[in-house]
């Protein structure tokens, strides 16, 4: 059994055509994690919200279990909401400040099931324990919990109905480093326990590497590279991915002179993306063709898609040596 | 002063709203004054030495004395008893007006903020229209149509003054609706109605409470004004506005007929204003220590 999402769309919102996500296409298999990596403004959050139909795409189709989610009737939409969940970056703002934890977790059950009061509280307590909280947190308000605990409640809300797909929008970015690791491991545990499918949105390649089976790198609303996590880390093909990789600090004192690929400038405005390759004004490897023609996302090798004119001629093995040897 | 502010910040961060409120002197004064009015209104039957409509022709227009604390009016009725019974009417009317106002204004504000677009334009246009009228003139017009009486006055005053509720709730809804817990609510399949009721409305309550305490005094003032003009309560109701109106003819001979009801109108309005001012600072974080 495979679950299949396909995605092809561009968001053109009036009046100025902000191309938040433009012509992105991918699929996620059941029980796996797709990491979506990109800097702020690259369209990754928009992508996540669109997949769950929380905002409407301008065009394109999204298939969930073989069904196009843009054309669901009332019951099907309810089923879709039941089968998906979302966790946001800021846990405090994602929980209703006027609801106690119990009520926050009870709402999905009340909407989608007809369990009685007793069954509901059993499920709530069980889910709370699964995310590392306990009965004592039931009657608390969100502001009475720590950031990590709030995020656990948000995760509990997303998984309480055993969904098929969970979109994780930077779920660890606003937490302390020690808590980040706990939350990541919790997410991995839950995934193997319930066979969850994750779309993990992050700006941090290392976090993505920790949790993802596949990684998709986005730049200015476009996918620049997409492959298995291993391929992206060891056989990087796109200069933008390379620059992200070389910005990862390597905790090795023996490593004295490390060659970094530094890019300058700001990411382009989505209102007015540069002609040709959107990365060319910042790309150290840009040639004349990059300014003229936008590269397509092509399958460079099996399961490895790159959108770069020079993908086949550039070889970053030497540059990546430090990092690949460190993560090997 | 600095110690007071740091104390307030501490209470604020601990979410001890009640203790925070206790650090506002004017709030406490307002609350005490209001409690006194509520106490008088509730226990009027026991405190008042006379019945409010007990006429005694032999003791007309007597000045305040031990027997008649606030004196007597032109029919020999005890002004003190009438003022106490009047508190009952004033508070009840104020409360009723605010409930009707909120009942009209809050749902409209929620709808306007939630749906935006045409719904918002339509509702905002009506709100502005109502706001543009001089309230007392519009209220007079409505009472003229409905006929005199306290209930009609309540309706009239509420109909002319719900606009602030719509504005406040609309603005608050707009600020809440972009927060992530609303998107999260959609993601778990909440209906629009449920989102408005369970997610937005509870978060708009603090400004609504503040607004209510600030509009009760004007509601009381408007209703007493309408009673003073003869459109509201009819004799022998011990309405403060009506008492002012009746005492007007004797204002030089027996000023106590007007002074005491007037004083109580002022005190009641003042108590709500003081309380509302303090509540606004306690409940609205934007104004806190700003």
* Average pLDDT rounded to a whole number, residues B168-177: 93
Number of domains in chain B: 1
As a whole number of Å, the end-to-end CA separation of chain A is 32
Between A63-67, A277-281, B10-14, B251-255, the lowest mean confidence (pLDDT) is in B10-14
Q: What is the DSSP letter of A128?
A: H
From chain B, the residues in CB contact with A93 under 8 A are 179-181
Number of domains in chain A: 2
Interface of A with B in 93-112 (CB under 8 A): 93-99, 107-108, 111-112
**What is the predicted pLDDT for the residue at B284?**
65
Look at residue A325 and tell me whether its pLDDT is greater than 80.
no
Closest by Cβ to B181, choosing from A82, A95, A108: A95
Q: Under an 8 A CB cutoff, do B184 and A111 touch?
A: no
Do A83 and A205 lie in one domain? The reply is yes
* Average pLDDT rounded to a whole number, residues A279-292: 86
Do A180 and A58 lie in one domain? The reply is yes
Nearest residue on chain B to A103, judged by CA atoms? B198
CB pairs under 8 A between A and B: 59
Angstrom CA distances, A201 to A34, A35, B35, stand at: 8, 6, 55
* B interface with A, Cβ–Cβ below 8 Å: 15, 179-181, 183-190, 194, 198-199, 202-203, 205
CA distance A85 to chain B (A): 6
Q: Which of A121, A165, A172 is nearest to A150 (CA)?
A: A172
Residue A3 lies in a domain: no
Look at residue A185 and tell me whether its pLDDT is greater than 70.
yes
Residue A223 lies in a domain: no
Which of A48, A85, A104, A107 should we substitute to test contact with B (largest number of B Cβ atoms within 10 Å)? A107
- Cα distance between residue B61 and residue B64, in whole Å: 9
Closest by Cβ to A90, choosing from B180, B188, B199: B180
Do A82 and A17 lie in one domain? The reply is yes
Do A248 and A106 lie in one domain? The reply is no
- Residue A271 lies in domain: 237-299+309-327
Q: Under an 8 A CB cutoff, do A86 and B184 touch?
A: yes
Judged by a CB distance cut-off of 8 A, whether residue A90 touches chain B is yes
Task: Provide the mean pLDDT of chain A.
Answer: 83
Helix B79-115 crosses helix B150-160 at what angle (to 10 degrees)? 40
Do A142 and A88 lie in one domain? The reply is yes
Q: Under an 8 A CB cutoff, do B181 and A96 touch?
A: yes
Closest by Cβ to A108, choosing from B15, B188, B198: B188
Which of B175, B189, B207 should we substitute to test contact with A (largest number of A Cβ atoms within 10 Å)? B189
Locate the DSSP E strands across A65-205. Answer: 67-68, 84-87, 165-169, 197-202
CA distance B6 to chain A (A): 21
Enclosing H/E stretch for B143: helix B135-146
From chain A, the residues in CB contact with B197 under 8 A are none
Do A33 and A90 lie in one domain? The reply is yes
From chain B, the residues in CB contact with A82 under 8 A are 189
Residue A116 lies in a domain: yes
The strand pair at A304-306 and A298-301 is best described as: antiparallel
Q: Under an 8 A CB cutoff, do A112 and B181 touch?
A: no
What is the phi/psi pair of residue A3, to 5°?
A: -105, 145
Do A113 and A141 lie in one domain? The reply is yes
Helix B201-228 crosses helix B240-247 at what angle (to 10 degrees)? 20
Residue A1 lies in a domain: no
Do A71 and A23 lie in one domain? The reply is yes
From chain A, the residues in CB contact with B200 under 8 A are none
Do A67 and A157 lie in one domain? The reply is yes
Nearest residue on chain A to B197, judged by CA atoms? A98
* Average pLDDT rounded to a whole number, residues A178-191: 92
For residue A86, the SS3 value is: strand
**What is the predicted pLDDT for the residue at A290?**
87
**What is the predicted pLDDT for the residue at A2?**
42
Q: Which of B183, B211, B221, B181 is nearest to B284 (CA)?
A: B211
Between A38-52, B7-21, B33-47, B98-112, the lowest mean confidence (pLDDT) is in B7-21
Q: What is the pLDDT of residues B29-83, one digit of tens each?
A: 999 999 999 999 898 888 878 788 777 778 778 788 887 888 788 887 888 989 9
Look at residue A54 and tell me whether its pLDDT is greater than 80.
yes
- Residue B99 lies in domain: 2-287
CA A311 to chain centre: 25
CA distance A72 to chain B (A): 14
Q: Under an 8 A CB cutoff, do A107 and B187 touch?
A: no
CA distance B277 to chain A (A): 23
From chain A, the residues in CB contact with B204 under 8 A are none
Q: Under an 8 A CB cutoff, do B189 and A111 touch?
A: yes
What is the phi/psi pair of residue B130, to 5°?
A: -60, -40
Q: Under an 8 A CB cutoff, do B181 and A85 touch?
A: no
Angstrom CA distances, A205 to A243, A321, A323, stand at: 11, 17, 12
- Cα distance between residue B65 and residue B68, in whole Å: 5
Q: What is the pLDDT of residues A249-279, one digit of tens each?
A: 777 766 666 666 677 777 777 677 788 888 8
With vertex at residue B122, the alpha carbon angle to CA B116 and CA B123, rounded to the nearest 5 degrees, is 80
What is the phi/psi pair of residue A133, to 5°?
A: -115, 180
Q: What is the pLDDT of residues A127-141, one digit of tens each?
A: 999 999 999 999 998
Residue A40 lies in a domain: yes
**What is the predicted pLDDT for the residue at A20?**
56
Task: Provide the mean pLDDT of chain B.
Answer: 87
CATH number at B208 reads: 1.10.3720.10
Residue A157 lies in a domain: yes
CA distance A90 to chain B (A): 8
Q: Under an 8 A CB cutoff, do B189 and A81 touch?
A: yes
From chain A, the residues in CB contact with B186 under 8 A are 54
Residue A4 lies in a domain: no
Name residues whose C-beta falls within 8 Å of residue A85's C-beta, 6 or more positions apart in sequence.
A157, A158, A159, A161, A163, A165, A166, A167, B187, B188
Angstrom CA distances, A75 to A69, A79, A80, stand at: 12, 6, 9
Closest by Cβ to A93, choosing from B181, B185, B188: B181
From chain A, the residues in CB contact with B15 under 8 A are 143
Q: Under an 8 A CB cutoff, do A107 and B190 touch?
A: yes
Do A169 and A264 lie in one domain? The reply is no
Between A143-147, B100-104, B182-186, the lowest mean confidence (pLDDT) is in A143-147
- Cα distance between residue B144 and residue B232, in whole Å: 10
Residue A294 lies in a domain: yes
Which of A157, A185, A217 is the last residue before a domain boundary?
Answer: A217
Judged by a CB distance cut-off of 8 A, whether residue A45 touches chain B is no
Do A208 and A244 lie in one domain? The reply is no
Q: What is the pLDDT of residues A205-234, one digit of tens each?
A: 888 988 999 999 988 888 889 999 988 888
CATH number at A183 reads: 3.40.50.300
* Average pLDDT rounded to a whole number, residues A240-254: 79
Band of pLDDT at residue A9, cut at 50, 70 and 90: very low
What is the phi/psi pair of residue A254, to 5°?
A: -75, -20
Contact A307, A297 (CB under 8 A): yes
Asked if the peptide bond before residue A15 counts as cis, ω within 30 degrees of 0, the response is: yes
Do A286 and A167 lie in one domain? The reply is no
Judged by a CB distance cut-off of 8 A, whether residue A273 touches chain B is no
Q: What is the pLDDT of residues A292-321, one digit of tens each?
A: 888 888 888 888 888 888 887 877 777 777
**What is the predicted pLDDT for the residue at B69?**
81
Asked if the peptide bond before residue B65 counts as cis, ω within 30 degrees of 0, the response is: no
- Cα distance between residue A199 and residue A184, in whole Å: 13
């Amino acid at each position: 059994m495979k679950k299949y999402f396909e995605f092809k769309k561009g968001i053109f919102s009036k009046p100025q055509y902000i191309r938040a996500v433009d012509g992105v296409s991918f699929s996620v298999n059941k029980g796996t994690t797709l990491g979506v990596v990109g800097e702020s403004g690259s369209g990754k959050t928009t992508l996540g919200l669109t997949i769950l139909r929380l905002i409407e795409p301008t065009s394109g189709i999204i298939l969930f279990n073989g069904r196009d989610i843009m054309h669901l009737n009332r019951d099907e939409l309810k089923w879709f909401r039941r089968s998906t969940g979302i966790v946001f970056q800021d846990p405090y703002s994602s929980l209703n400040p006027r609801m106690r934890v119990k009520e926050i977790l009870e709402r999905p059950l009340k909407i989608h099931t007809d369990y009685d009061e007793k069954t509901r509280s059993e499920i709530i307590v069980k889910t709370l324990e699964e995310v590392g909280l306990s009965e004592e947190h039931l009657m608390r308000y969100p502001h009475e919990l720590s950031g990590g605990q709030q995020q656990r409640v948000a995760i509990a809300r997303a998984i309480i109905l055993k969904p098929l797909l969970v979109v994780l929008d930077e779920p660890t970015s606003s937490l302390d480093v020690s808590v980040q690791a706990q939350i990541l491991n919790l997410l991995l545990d839950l995934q193997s326990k319930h066979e969850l499918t994750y779309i993990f949105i992050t700006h941090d390649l290392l976090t993505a590497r920790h949790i993802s089976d596949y990684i998709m790198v986005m730049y200015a609303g476009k996918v620049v590279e997409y492959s298995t996590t291993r391929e992206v880390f060891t056989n990087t093909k796109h200069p933008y991915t390379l620059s992200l990789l070389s910005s990862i600090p390597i905790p090795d004192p023996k490593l004295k002179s490390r060659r970094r690929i530094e890019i300058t400038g700001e990411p382009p405005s989505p209102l007015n993306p540069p002609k040709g390759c959107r990365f060319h004004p910042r790309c150290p490897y840009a040639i004349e063709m990059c300014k003229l023609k936008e590269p397509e996302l092509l399958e460079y090798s099996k399961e490895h898609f790159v959108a770069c004119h020079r993908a086949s001629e550039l070889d970053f093995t030497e540059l990546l040596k430090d990092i690949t040897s460190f993560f090997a | 002063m600095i110690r007071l502010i740091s104390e307030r910040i501490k209470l604020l961060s601990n979410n001890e709203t009640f203790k925070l409120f206790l650090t506002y002197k004017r709030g406490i004064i307002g609350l005490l004054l209001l409690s006194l009015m509520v106490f008088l209104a509730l226990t009027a039957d026991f405190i008042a030495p006379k019945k409010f409509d007990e006429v005694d022709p032999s003791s007309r227009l007597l000045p305040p004395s031990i027997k008649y604390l606030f004196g007597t009016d032109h029919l020999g009725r005890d002004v003190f008893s009438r003022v106490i019974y009047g508190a009952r009417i004033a508070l009840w009317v104020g409360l009723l007006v605010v409930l009707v106002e909120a009942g009209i204004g809050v749902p409209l504000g929620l709808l306007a903020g939630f749906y935006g677009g045409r719904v918002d334009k339509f509702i905002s246009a009506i709100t502005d229209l109502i706001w543009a009228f001089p309230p007392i003139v519009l209220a007079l017009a409505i009472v003229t149509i409905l006929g005199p009486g306290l209930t009609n006055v309540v309706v009239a005053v509420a109909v002319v003054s719900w606009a602030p509720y719509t504005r406040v709730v609309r603005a608050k809804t707009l600020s809440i609706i972009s927060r992530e817990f609303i998107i999260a609510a959609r993601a778990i399949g909440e209906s629009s109605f449920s989102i408005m009721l369970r997610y937005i409305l509870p978060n708009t309550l603090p400004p609504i409470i503040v607004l209510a305490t600030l509009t009760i005094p004007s509601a009381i003032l408007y209703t007493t004004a309408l009673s003073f003009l003869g459109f509201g309560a009819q004799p022998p109701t011990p309405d403060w506005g009506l008492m002012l109106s009746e005492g007007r003819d004797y204002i030089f001979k027996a000023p106590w007929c007007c002074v005491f009801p007037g004083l109580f109108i002022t005190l009641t309005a003042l108590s709500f204003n003081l309380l509302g001012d303090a509540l606004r600072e306690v409940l609205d974080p934007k104004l806190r220590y700003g």
